[in-house]
Amino acid sequence: MDFKLIDPMVVQLARALFLIKGARPVLLSGRTRNWALLVEGRGFSRLLQDEAPAFGNLHRPSTAGMRRPRTFFSRVHAVAVAQSMGLARSRKAWDIDLGATGGKAT
């Protein structure tokens, strides 16, 4: 399925206006092990756009200015970025193994 892109600044503005429901990591098709963030809002679902640096004095290929989704190498990294942007809730509890060696339960 094809999705349009959304700029990170627009995402933050929409989040401030309570238009964002959340974001979830999705695996991009056609590429191996590349993840992206699917931002879901009220009436739209878009992929988070990559922020390209605007350095005018660098020699870049002609595709450098093209819009593309921000990609991540793992699902965990995509979730961490979504949490740092305020698009996903952070974990409130963690599972622990009390039967593991090296520690005693009290």
Residue 91: inside a domain, yes or no?
no
- Give the count of beta carbons closer than 10 Å to the beta carbon of residue 8: 15
| pTM for the model | 0.72
Parent domain of 79: 5-51+67-84
Percent of the chain with pLDDT over 90: 38
pLDDT tens string 41-78 = 999 999 999 876 666 666 666 666 677 888 899 998 99
Residue 56: inside a domain, yes or no?
no
For tokens 């695996």, the residue is: 27
Residue 31: inside a domain, yes or no?
yes
Helix (H, G, I), strand (E, B) or coil at 69: strand
Q: What's the domain count of the chain?
A: 1
